[in-house]
């Protein structure tokens, strides 16, 4: 049974009606009001209920279809498509993104060491290349199964971190609790074939790709807080970014 | 022979010296002053010439190593790593990015049609789902070989575009010349295995991944200018983005 959506249209606003509708529908998909597989109130019913023209409603829906949030299938109607976690271009942790979109993240700690020497990570943290760093590798899953392998390097001061603490939530909450509040990050996004180990943990087949992201995060004083090198199941994950002309 | 780099250090600035050096070196890699494979003036020589301490120079270089711009190899020294096109988070065309980084882009038009019906693209362009659109598919290469397959949908008004015009430069220059100036775009970045056709054009092997980007670009009035669905060789391409806490 399609959900009757709580849309509010403001006819006094200069924002085009189709855009008001598209924005509210997008938010409902993103915040989990509309869940993957949900049937979508049909165009005609939505138009009548909101007293909008059919072309206006169709244009709003087409916009969500074009963004990959809805799927329109002949004979089945329109359903919410979004199995993919859309990571927005603000500094959030995957854990928080999942919670916010109504999903249930879980964490398995695959590795936790305090003697990791890694020049690339040390450079990113602004430390001498041979500084022993805290290294953690976590498998992040949601209800549909494994989603990402998260590898992070932290300064030696985090030597007391435990697997129990890491399994109980997201890393960023731990950093913030210690007064190291990440406010800006430089991310590099790429892709590569999954390694055998990654395939095993992520449940992938040979030849399946992973989406990769390295992240250098800084606090308000510009001090490096963490260095991460993560990989995500490409069939379940995407990055959304908005870019402007310089 | 290592290049002697034109670095200027401002000792009266509140910006840390290592950061001044790292930023200038980054710019040189990005604008092509430093080219992939270039040998890098060694730490000691650079420190002496700029009258900086060795730890300061080492920290700056480590930062570039951590960003994947330099590679440090025992016995070989430090060289410029960047075979990967780093796409920054501003609205630019791949063509312009390549030119700006000192490379020589070329374009082969694989397909050009004026009767493309595509609901997703039409929705992104704000047009009725059955509008016949102009569809172009281009293979973009640089001196090292093929880099990306670019697929774009444009409104019917571009029906007079020719393959010759498209082969001579970037699409954004054409859009701008017609007064449709893209100023903002929403991009979704993902990864997937390459199709057989993509492998053939991009020179990839079975199981190689591609990095994907869909883009919806708008002009200053908020009118959709183009919809693109592109794929890139994952071994030669990455997106750099800076994200902030909301």
- pLDDT confidence of B86, banded at 50, 70, 90? low
Distance, CA of A9 to CA of A13 (rounded, Å): 9
Bridge partners (DSSP) of residue A217 are: A185, A226
Distance, CA of B70 to CA of B50 (rounded, Å): 20
- Residue B60 is inside which H or E element, if any? helix B54-66
Please check whether residue B227 touches A, CB under 8 A: yes
For chain B, give the percent of residues with pLDDT over 90.
Answer: 34
Distance, CA of A238 to CA of A67 (rounded, Å): 12
The answer to whether residues A245 and B183 touch, using CB atoms and an 8 Å cutoff, is yes
pLDDT value at residue A232: 95
pLDDT value at residue A141: 92
- pLDDT confidence of A62, banded at 50, 70, 90? confident
Contacts of A123 in chain B (CB under 8 A): 59, 61-66
pLDDT value at residue B106: 92
Please check whether residue A59 touches B, CB under 8 A: yes
Of A13-17, A183-187, A198-202, B120-124, the poorest mean pLDDT is in A13-17
Query: Stretch A17-27: mean pLDDT, rounded?
Result: 86
Name the residue in chain B with its Cα closest to that of A236: B190
Residues 6+ apart with CB under 8 A from A198: A149, A204, A210, A231
Please check whether residue A90 touches B, CB under 8 A: yes
The more confidently predicted of residues B20 and A5 is: B20
pLDDT value at residue A221: 80
pLDDT value at residue A66: 72
pLDDT digit string, tens, across residues B188-218 = 899 999 999 999 999 999 889 999 999 999 8
The answer to whether residues B70 and B54 touch, using CB atoms and an 8 Å cutoff, is no
pLDDT value at residue B108: 95
Q: What number of other Cβ atoms are within 10 A of residue B171's Cβ?
A: 24
On the question of pLDDT at A113 being above 60, the answer is yes
Q: What number of other Cβ atoms are within 10 A of residue A54's Cβ?
A: 12
The DSSP output letter for B103 is: -
CATH 3.40.50.300 fits B85-239, yes or no: no
Among candidate residues A81, A20, A13, the one with its CA nearest the CA of residue A46: A20
Whether A183 sits inside 8 A of B245 (CB atoms) is yes
On the question of pLDDT at A86 being above 70, the answer is no
Query: Stretch A99-121: mean pLDDT, rounded?
Result: 89
On the question of pLDDT at A71 being above 80, the answer is no
Exposure b/e, B220-232, CB count within 10 A at least 16 = b: eeeebbbbbbbbb
Among candidate residues A123, A128, A139, the one with its CA nearest the CA of residue B67: A123
Average pLDDT over chain B reads: 85
- pLDDT confidence of B84, banded at 50, 70, 90? low
Query: Stretch A206-220: mean pLDDT, rounded?
Result: 91
On the question of pLDDT at B158 being above 90, the answer is yes
B237: left (phi over 0), alpha (psi -120 to 50) or beta: beta
- pLDDT confidence of B88, banded at 50, 70, 90? low
Query: Stretch B139-165: mean pLDDT, rounded?
Result: 93
CATH 2.30.30.30 fits B17-80, yes or no: no
Q: Which of B240, B245, B246 to mutate to test the interface with A (most CBs of A within 10 A)?
A: B245
* B91 φ, ψ (degrees, to nearest 5): -80, 100
**Extents of the domains making up chain A:** 17-80, 85-239
Please check whether residue A89 touches B, CB under 8 A: yes
CA of B80 vs chain A CAs: smallest distance (Å): 15
pLDDT value at residue B3: 59
Please check whether residue A238 touches B, CB under 8 A: yes
- Do the domains A17-80 and A85-239 sit in the same CATH topology, yes or no? no
Please check whether residue B129 touches A, CB under 8 A: yes
Taking a contact as any Cβ pair under 8 Å apart, which residues of chain A between 154 and 213 contact chain B? 181-193, 206-211
DSSP string, chain A: ----------TTSSS-HHHHHHHHHHHHHHHTSS-TT-B---HHHHHHHHT--HHHHHHHHHHHHHTTSEEEETTTEEEE---SEEE-SS---HHHHHHHTT---EEEEEEEEEEE--HHHHHHTTS-TT--EEEEEEEEEETTEEEEEEEEEE-GGGTT--HHHHHTS-HHHHHHHTT----EEEEEEEEEEPPHHHHHHHTPPTT-EEEEEEEEEE-TTS-EEEEEEEEEETTSEEEEEEEE--
Whether B246 sits inside 8 A of A90 (CB atoms) is yes
pLDDT digit string, tens, across residues A151-193 = 999 999 999 999 999 998 889 889 988 888 888 888 899 999 9
Distance, CA of A245 to CA of B181 (rounded, Å): 10
Please check whether residue A13 touches B, CB under 8 A: no
Bridge partners (DSSP) of residue B186 are: A242, B216
On the question of pLDDT at B14 being above 60, the answer is yes
Burial class (CB in 10 A: 0-12, 13-18, 19+), B145: exposed
On the question of pLDDT at B155 being above 60, the answer is yes
The more confidently predicted of residues B161 and A1 is: B161
């Amino acid at each position: 049974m399609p959900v009757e959506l709580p849309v509010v249209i403001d006819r006094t606003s200069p924002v085009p009606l189709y855009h008001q509708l598209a924005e509210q529908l997008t938010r409902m998909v993103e915040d989990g009001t509309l869940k993957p597989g949900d049937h979508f109130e049909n165009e005609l019913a939505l138009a009548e209920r909101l007293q909008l023209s059919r072309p206006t409603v169709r244009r709003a829906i087409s916009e969500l279809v074009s963004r990959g949030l809805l799927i329109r299938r002949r004979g089945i109607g329109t359903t919410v498509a979004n199995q993919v976690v859309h990571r927005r271009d603000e500094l959030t942790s995957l854990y928080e993104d999942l919670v916010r979109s109504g999903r249930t993240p879980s964490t398995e700690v695959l590795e936790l060491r305090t003697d990791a020497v890694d020049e690339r990570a040390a450079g990113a943290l602004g430390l001498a290349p041979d500084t022993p760093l805290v290294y953690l590798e976590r498998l992040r899953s949601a209800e549909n199964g494994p989603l990402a392998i998260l590898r992070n390097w932290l300064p030696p001061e985090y030597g007391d971190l435990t697997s129990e603490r890491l399994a109980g939530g997201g890393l960023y909450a731990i950093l913030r609790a210690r007064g190291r509040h990440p406010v800006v990050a430089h991310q590099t996004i790429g892709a590569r074939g999954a390694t055998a180990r990654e395939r095993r943990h992520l449940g992938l087949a040979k030849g399946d790709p992973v989406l990769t992201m390295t992240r250098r995060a800084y606090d308000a004083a510009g001090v490096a807080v963490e260095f991460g090198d993560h990989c995500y199941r490409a069939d379940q994950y995407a990055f959304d970014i908005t870019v402007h002309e310089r």
